Amino acid sequence: MLRATTPGWLWIPAVIGLAALAGPLVALFVAADWQDLPALWARGDARTALGLSLATAFASTVVCFLLGLPLAVLLSRLHGTALQLLRGLLVVPLVLSPVISGLALLYFWGRQTLVGGWLDSIGLGIGFSPAAVVLVQVFVSLPFFVVSALSSIEAVDTDLEFAGANAGASSAQILAHITLPLAAPGILVGTLLAFARSLGEYGATITFAGSVAGRTRTLPLQIELALNSNDPQAALGISLMLIGLYLIVLVTAGAAVGRIFRH
């Protein structure tokens, strides 16, 4: 049945694309020394980096959710130029090179700035602390979450929302019982995307939060340190650990979205 609508030659560019993506990943798996991996993963610095990565990514995902969901809901209600402008603003961090993101954060939250300097003076200095890492991760992941949540909120049939309003529901009730449950798959995917993006963030983290063992040295920074220390096997091992985390996120996403659709 599908053959009627799918030209056969599509396979050629598709396979080339797939090979370009999967080839390097497969190479990583092949190059690793699988026997040494458990010992490597048990190393103090790897475990500290893992704990820090998971904790900060979790914290920043929660912040993304709390800030991003209202933003996505509001954006879905806007029309016209206001919407285009705000959407443009949203997409910029999405495509911005992480190094530029780090630089931008430095000029806003850094010690020499108004905001950063003030925070420092009241004792809430964020320099070289896990808080700085969370800040970076929120900056880079929030757009992912909002874009994903927004597209699924917009897909909700407004007739259903009006029906709820007609029946006497308040705006909060409509949101909680009609809009958000229907938009749940997109919101969930957005949450998981934000989490995965936060886990992988490197450039902005090292520019803004530095590489302090136990405080800002997340898994990607630990990988770079291992590479710089002529320890490519350690770098490989930790990379595989990170890929493992991504796979868990993907499987969870698939399972959760599947469960929601079955309802």
Partner 1 sequence: MGKRTITALAALALLLSGCAAGGASADGTGSAASPGTGSGTASGGTGVVQFAAAASLTDMAPELTAAYARETGDTTKIQINLGASSKLVQQANAGERPDVLITADTEAPKALEKPEAFDDAVDLASNSLVLAVPADSKITSADQLEDAGAVALCAPAVPCGRAANAYLDQEGITLDTVTEEDDVRSVLTKVTAGQVDAGFVYATDAAAAGDTVRAIELPHLKPNVYPLLVAGDAPESAKKFADWLQGDAARKLFDEAGFSTP
Q: Is 48 in the site for partner 1 (CB under 8 A)?
A: no
Using alpha carbons, select from 64, 196, 61, 211 the residue that is nearest to residue 130. Answer: 211
DSSP of 185-249, one letter per residue?
A: HHHHHHHHHHHHHHHH--HHHHHHT---TTTT--HHHHHHHHHHTT-HHHHHHHHHHHHHHHHHH
Minimum gap (Å) between residue 143 Cβ and partner 1: 25
Q: Is 33 in the site for partner 1 (CB under 8 A)?
A: yes
CB atoms within 10 A of CB 17: 10
Minimum gap (Å) between residue 17 Cβ and partner 1: 11
Helix (H, G, I), strand (E, B) or coil at 67: helix
CB 48 within 8 A of CB 54: no
Contacting partner 1 (CB under 8 A), which of 54, 55, 67, 212? 212
In this complex, which beta carbon is closest to partner 1, that of residue 127 or of residue 249?
127
Minimum gap (Å) between residue 29 Cβ and partner 1: 7
Q: Is 35 in the site for partner 1 (CB under 8 A)?
A: no
Greatest Cα pair distance, the chain, in angstroms, is: 69
Q: Is 181 in the site for partner 1 (CB under 8 A)?
A: no
Instruction: Tell me which residues in 80-139 interact with partner 1 (CB under 8 A).
Output: 106, 110-112, 127-128
Nearest-angstrom CA–CA distance, 90 and 204 = 17
Contacting partner 1 (CB under 8 A), which of 1, 4, 30, 122? 30
Nearest-angstrom CA–CA distance, 8 and 2 = 11
What are the tokens at 138?
A: 């929120």
Find the part of the chain contacting partner 1 (CB under 8 A) among 34-42, 134-142, 168-176, 213-221.
Answer: 213-221
What are the tokens at 133?
A: 């890492």
Q: Is 18 in the site for partner 1 (CB under 8 A)?
A: yes
Contacting partner 1 (CB under 8 A), which of 37, 156, 227, 256? 227
In this complex, which beta carbon is closest to partner 1, that of residue 73 or of residue 119?
119
CB 158 within 8 A of CB 166: no
Contacting partner 1 (CB under 8 A), which of 138, 142, 206, 253? 206
Q: Is 36 in the site for partner 1 (CB under 8 A)?
A: no
* Interface ranges with partner 1 (CB under 8 A): 11, 15, 18-19, 22-24, 26-33, 106, 110-112, 127-128, 206, 210-213, 215-217, 224-225, 227-233, 235-236
